[in-house]
Amino acid sequence: MSGDSSDKKPESGARIRRLAGWRGIFAGLVLAGVTACLAAFTNPPVRQAALPIEVLGDDGTTVSCTVALQVEQAESAHSLWLRTNGLRYPNQGSIQINRGPWIPLNNDTVSVAEPGSSYGAIGGGFATLGMTVPLPKDSIIAGSNTLLFRFNHTDGVSSGYRVLAWNFLTKEGEKILPPDQFAEDSPGSWVPPLADSASIQAGRELWHTATLRQSNQPNSPKIQAHCADCHTQDGRDLKYFNFSNNSIVIRSRFHGLTSTQGEQIASYIRSLPFPNPGRPWDPPYQPGPGLDELPVANWAAGAGLASVLDEDVDALQYLLSRHRARHAPVNAADSAALVKEITPEVFRPDGNLSAREIPIALQLPDWNQWLPHIHPKDAWGPAFAQSEFGRLYEGGTYAEADGKSEPPLRRLLTLTQTKGSNLRPVAAAFNQWLRARRSFLKRFVKSDTEWSPGLTGKVYSTQLWQLVKTWEMTQEFGLEARGRDLYGPNADSHTWFNTIPAETAPLLTHIPDGTAGVGGSAVTNEYFTASWYELQILLNSGNHRHRDRSPVDWVYYIGQFLDLYARTHRPEPTRLLVAVTKALQSTDSRLGPEDFRQGWQPDQNVDPRIMISPSWTSVFKPMPSEVRRAVTEAMLTAWIDKNRQYSMAKYLPLGSPPQIYSPRTYGNITGGGVWEAARQFQDAGMPPHLINRLLEWGSAYTDRAARLQYEGRTPSGKM
């Protein structure tokens, strides 16, 4: 993660899980006034500070940390480094050092590290940020030093923030305190605050039925939603991502419950018999090396913040290593070594790249960013309960028409639990539910709708609610590991059965960039669109079963890289290459172009022109020229080899010509006629034999198109 060179490079297997976890503060702690952050462990090391620091509670809550420095350490302290999670808006928090003046945390008082800075810094898209705070002169002393972290005020949604790690830095940026100065609390030691069965049962009932308020602000209205409505119905999300007892109590109080009721809910959560590999700050499904080696139950926990790169180009080494039996990456700074690894095998359309294993510099949303701020029934009133969208999940009269009270989706999913059950109706049911949501929101969002932050909040929360409930049912019914049951033995075992992740993108409901967008800014709105599209690739990119434009409209999705770049100016060449490779691999390798909907269609897909197009030069700028040339040659070779597997009669059969896909915006990377860019490929350093192969194939294609009088399939120019 940015700002900490010790965890820039991803590592594999169990090491990732250790690096990714910044363990929660000790169980049962309730922040009221000032709380020390010294570790409360059995036989604790002397003067160790506990991590993370949960600055959660009412407005004005403070948490104290005390650390001793030697004379030379104090004299060398130049700045304070923090890694924070949940610092969502300027001046949400402040720090005080040794009773000095309070320093508000905002983008003027701190320096936020990349890539988080380019995504809006404090108040932007990234939930976890690395930052440095200049130290006031003579504020650090030899001996005992006390830091106070304060939660200044809520915005009506937030209950505070966390400090996942901190340290003093020298003028050169070196950390002063050694790692053993800090202790991380393990969720494995957590116990229910109230261990008796009556309290646990009371917590379960409160989870499902407690009357809640919108916030802890004066005169805050009651809401219809219960805990189980915005979270998972059984609370497994809080268990899975290891929300601490303290955070559960604080959030319960935020929504109008008492501390005792919060402890009962926390006790219920602690008692749940579900796996719990995640943390609240680790983005679900964040890709990274070693993730596929873990049990599928760990997939949603992701590879951790340790796998979020500072620079996207550093991920290229991991992409190149995935086609080999030995997956150890080469040195990212060694261009010659990288070039040796770049072969057509990396980009073969018949391959099966695991995007889950390639780290990226895009930090995906954490679980709190998944959760809706307002439930659909509070956002839309009775219209939601009476809609097909609401009834498919929640039941009601729609579900009870046949005498069964279980909602239609859950009733269907229950049937999938028997061995050998047919999963195709499940995919169809999720698609029906998605179409029902689109239809429902069209009542409130018209072509001439004047967007406002309030409307955006309701629409986007409705999208998030569907995503959370999809995760809920996918986990509850064990669907994530059943990809081969639906797609066959050669398919990926890890998969979702729907496109709801991509449909969570603000762009898909026409939420505009700008002050009315998600997060109140264009960059944050684009960030969430890019993140949910990325999540779709990680969860379900098609399993070589692409049909028309689903489950991923690759040309449209890849085009959005330019939209995000225009806002952040952060090029992502490797993440783009992963998407292009998955696009090339999206069709069934057993089906040729004669199957127009599912078979290989070179003019319906992204093609190698993306490597030489002037529109994409800025995205590939961080890639050394010799590396980019090698990638271009390898991709073009793989693309031509795939095309030559089939006769021209299969591409251009007798009879009516197939439809041409020619998007208006991205025609320079799709739509056919790749051979017409032969001069540009030659100027990019492609060898003569490869240029000749391209021209030969293009000539055969256009000759047959001309003979059959296929309009739009004849050349518009020659080299």
To 10 degrees, the CA torsion angle through 440, 461, 187, 210? -80
Mean pLDDT over residues 634-643, rounded? 98
Give yes or no for a contact between 386 and 397, defined as CB atoms under 8 angstroms apart: no
Residue type, 320: L
The model's pLDDT over 270-297, given as tens digits with 9 standing for 90+, comes to 999 999 999 999 999 999 999 999 999 9
Q: Tell me the CA end-to-end span of the chain in Å, nearest whole number.
A: 47
Q: Which of 392-401, 420-429, 581-590 has the lowest mean pLDDT?
A: 392-401
pLDDT of residue 327: 66
Mean pLDDT over residues 631-640, rounded? 98
Nearest in space to 130 (alpha carbons), one of 115, 152, 119: 115
User: Is 296 strand, coil or helix?
Assistant: helix
The model's pLDDT over 220-264, given as tens digits with 9 standing for 90+, comes to 999 999 999 999 999 999 999 999 999 999 999 999 999 999 999
- Can you state the angle between helices 408-415 and 424-441, rounded to 10 degrees? 170
Q: Which of 90-104, 421-435, 702-716 has the lowest mean pLDDT?
A: 702-716
Mean pLDDT of the chain: 89
Give yes or no for a contact between 306 and 4, defined as CB atoms under 8 angstroms apart: no
Query: Whole-angstrom Cα distance, residue 512 to residue 66?
Result: 46
User: Is 185 strand, coil or helix?
Assistant: coil
> How many helices (H) and strands (E) in the chain?
25, 14
CA atoms within 13 A on the CB side of 306: 22
| Domain architecture of the chain: domains with CATH | 22-185 (2.60.120), 189-271 (no CATH), 295-357 (no CATH), 366-551 (no CATH)
Cα 29 to Cα 55, 122, 625: the distances in Å are: 11, 27, 55
* Two structure tokens written together for 718: 């020659």
**Which pLDDT band holds residue 588 (cuts at 50, 70, 90)?**
confident
Which one is predicted more confidently, 418 or 41? 418
Residues 6+ apart with CB under 8 A from 677: 609, 612
CA atoms within 13 A on the CB side of 209: 6
CA atoms within 13 A on the CB side of 178: 3
Strands 34-36 and 62-69: parallel
Classify residue 81 as exposed, middle or buried by CB count within 10 Å of its CB (0-12, 13-18, 19+).
buried
Query: Whole-angstrom Cα distance, residue 456 to residue 465?
Result: 14
CA atoms within 13 A on the CB side of 397: 3
Q: Which of 24-33, 505-514, 643-652, 708-717 has the lowest mean pLDDT?
A: 24-33
Query: Whole-angstrom Cα distance, residue 332 to residue 311?
Result: 11
Give yes or no for a contact between 13 and 294, defined as CB atoms under 8 angstroms apart: yes
**Which pLDDT band holds residue 331 (cuts at 50, 70, 90)?**
confident
pLDDT of residue 660: 58
pLDDT of residue 595: 87
* Two structure tokens written together for 183: 């202790």
To 10 degrees, the CA torsion angle through 459, 426, 280, 25? 130
**Which pLDDT band holds residue 21 (cuts at 50, 70, 90)?**
very low
Nearest in space to 85 (alpha carbons), one of 244, 293, 319, 323: 244
Residues 6+ apart with CB under 8 A from 692: none
Q: How many CB atoms lie within 10 A of CB 14?
A: 11
pLDDT of residue 322: 77
Give yes or no for a contact between 3 and 113, defined as CB atoms under 8 angstroms apart: yes
Mean pLDDT over residues 461-466, rounded? 98
CA 377 vs. chain centroid, Å, equals 26
Give yes or no for a contact between 318 and 358, defined as CB atoms under 8 angstroms apart: yes
Nearest in space to 174 (alpha carbons), one of 8, 2, 5: 5
Give yes or no for a contact between 463 and 376, defined as CB atoms under 8 angstroms apart: no
Strands 182-184 and 160-169: unpaired
Nearest in space to 147 (alpha carbons), one of 165, 170, 174, 129: 165
CA atoms within 13 A on the CB side of 77: 25
